[in-house]
A and B are shown apart, each in its own frame.
Chain A
């Protein structure tokens, strides 16, 4: 009989180092299910394409049925667009009421007192809450784009980065493959909460990357505020509000309130702050997340590309922290 060997087959007394590392690294283990959508898309030439064709045909029939049913309802229900289904009552599509149909490019869907679910082609879905008004600006294989005029939308997208985007009166939300909820009023004030993956928020003042586990306020005037981790302190939240209001000394307040898991907030501040403030902000950032190889504080202070590489690093760290918080249990 062989000697017990914990490292080999977990027999015998656990080696404390091995057990500790197992526990530490377990949250990184893979547990995602098979992404049928991607496999289907990527394996068109496979022998068993017939089965996939059947599935695709079923989806097409669904869309055709939706279109057929909605054909008599205003300008919705025909042509190229995104299929939708209303929940709780009819919604306004292209000026007419409809329980379901196809939202054509250029038309708007207003949920009024009800809700609706919109199919973002074959890459995801968007749930539109009460009081939401969206316009479909584009739907092509390389880009699907909705304009959220007001209201709340929960989007879940499985697609390569930048295939889906939501424009709003203040900020453009570019999907990098994820799930998030955007809420906005007609002046462009609102917020985005990212549940998984990450998004880019494009505003007049630049780009903010908001990863999973953050909330970012969207401000009138085409800009996003700083992303805040779900663990951010009340002091940091208050400091960010002061910064949004342009209060004197707000940058110092943010820096003073930043904690170990707030690098994502600080990295966005580096990009938004005046260039002369960058070295001190980057020095504080380096205490939280070391710059990647080849990036220095001095280099990042003057070079946007270096800052971008550092920001990628910070986003990675933030997502890892989020994963660790969400999956505290050790080994399966």
Chain B
């Protein structure tokens, strides 16, 4: 990420390849943040909206190194705005079906979204977007220590809520 400020600077000057590279690096993080709040069917569209808004507002970004946190703040705001425009149930819309895998996906996704806010995004980035802890730290601006704590506490809570015995508990 050493070159991130340079990339952001280039994107601000109108370098489309630089902006495309920013998208390539951050699209999963943005999707994870959005998916923590809105229905799966709407999340991918919102990702594009977030990057469109980011492109428009890039000149207002003070410090290029602050790009990750700034981008994810746009993502959170977009997701919240989106929910405001929805009927009440849409924000609660989850998947629930007897078909084995879809039902399980629905159950786990719902449990992830119901986690305390501090763990929600980190866990979705790890389990849905497939990012590692260090990647999450790099792309969210959180410290590696915080991400690690969020992951372990989040996983513990997730296990409890899904009724899965923890590894330690199961081996006792």
Out of B20, B90, B96, name the residue touching A290 (CB < 8 Å).
B96
Q: If the complex has contacts A24-B105, A295-B89, are A15 and B127 also in contact, measured as CB distance less than 8 A?
A: no
**Chain A residues whose CB sits within 8 angstroms of the CB of B55 once the complex forms:** 39, 42-43, 46
**Chain B residues whose CB sits within 8 angstroms of the CB of A7 once the complex forms:** 126, 133, 151-152, 155
Q: Are A30 and B105 in contact (CB under 8 A)?
A: no
Q: Are B89 and A294 in contact (CB under 8 A)?
A: yes
**Chain A residues whose CB sits within 8 angstroms of the CB of B161 once the complex forms:** none
**Chain B residues whose CB sits within 8 angstroms of the CB of A22 once the complex forms:** 127, 130
In the docked arrangement, what's the CA distance between A17 and B163, Å? 12
In the docked arrangement, what's the CA distance between A225 and B27, Å? 39
A179 CB, nearest partner CB in chain B, Å:
14
Interface of B is mostly: helix
**Highest count of chain A CB atoms <10 Å: which of B24, B31, B39, B98:** B98
Out of B40, B101, B108, B133, name the residue touching A21 (CB < 8 Å).
B108
Query: Which A217-270 residues sit within 8 Å CB-CB of chain B?
Result: 260-261, 263
**Chain A residues whose CB sits within 8 angstroms of the CB of B2 once the complex forms:** none
Annotate A145-160 by CB proximity to B: 1 below 8 A, 0 otherwise.
Answer: 0000000000000000
Out of A10, A21, A32, name the residue touching B47 (CB < 8 Å).
A32
A268 CB, nearest partner CB in chain B, Å:
16
Annotate A166-184 by CB proximity to B: 1 below 8 A, 0 otherwise.
Answer: 0000000000010000000
In the docked arrangement, what's the CA distance between A51 and B24, Å? 20
Interface of A is mostly: helix
Q: A18 interface residue, CB < 8 Å from B?
A: yes
In the docked arrangement, what's the CA distance between A24 and B130, Å? 11
**Chain A residues whose CB sits within 8 angstroms of the CB of B39 once the complex forms:** 316
Q: Are A29 and B129 in contact (CB under 8 A)?
A: yes
Can you name the residue of chain B whose Cβ is closest to the Cβ of A160?
A: B45
Q: Are A17 and B164 in contact (CB under 8 A)?
A: yes
In the docked arrangement, what's the CA distance between A292 and B130, Å? 29
Q: Are A312 and B49 in contact (CB under 8 A)?
A: no
Q: B87 interface residue, CB < 8 Å from A?
A: yes
Residues of A in contact (CB 8 Å), total: 56
Q: B7 interface residue, CB < 8 Å from A?
A: no
Q: A121 interface residue, CB < 8 Å from B?
A: no
Q: Are B59 and A24 in contact (CB under 8 A)?
A: no
Out of B12, B92, B93, name the residue touching A47 (CB < 8 Å).
B12
B133 CB, nearest partner CB in chain A, Å:
4
Q: B159 interface residue, CB < 8 Å from A?
A: yes
A113 CB, nearest partner CB in chain B, Å:
39
Annotate B84-105 by CB proximity to A: 1 below 8 A, 0 otherwise.
Answer: 0001111011111111011011
Annotate A289-321 by CB proximity to B: 1 below 8 A, 0 otherwise.
Answer: 110111100000000000001001101110111
Q: Are A316 and B104 in contact (CB under 8 A)?
A: no
Annotate A19-31 by CB proximity to B: 1 below 8 A, 0 otherwise.
Answer: 0011011111110
In the docked arrangement, what's the CA distance between A24 and B109, Å? 10
B98 CB, nearest partner CB in chain A, Å:
5
**Chain A residues whose CB sits within 8 angstroms of the CB of B27 once the complex forms:** 30, 32, 34
**Highest count of chain B CB atoms <10 Å: which of A21, A45, A46, A260:** A21
Q: A331 interface residue, CB < 8 Å from B?
A: yes
Annotate A38-72 by CB proximity to B: 1 below 8 A, 0 otherwise.
Answer: 11011101111011000000000000000000000
Q: Give the interface of A toward B (CB within 8 A).
A: 5, 7-10, 15-18, 21-22, 24-30, 32, 34-35, 38-39, 41-43, 45-48, 50-51, 177, 260-261, 263, 287-290, 292-295, 309, 312-313, 315-317, 319-321, 324, 331-332
9 A-B pairs (CB sep. < 8 Å): A5-B148, A15-B167, A42-B53, A46-B14, A46-B59, A47-B12, A261-B99, A315-B41, A320-B105
Closest 5 CB pairs of A and B: A48-B14, A42-B52, A30-B31, A8-B133, A290-B96
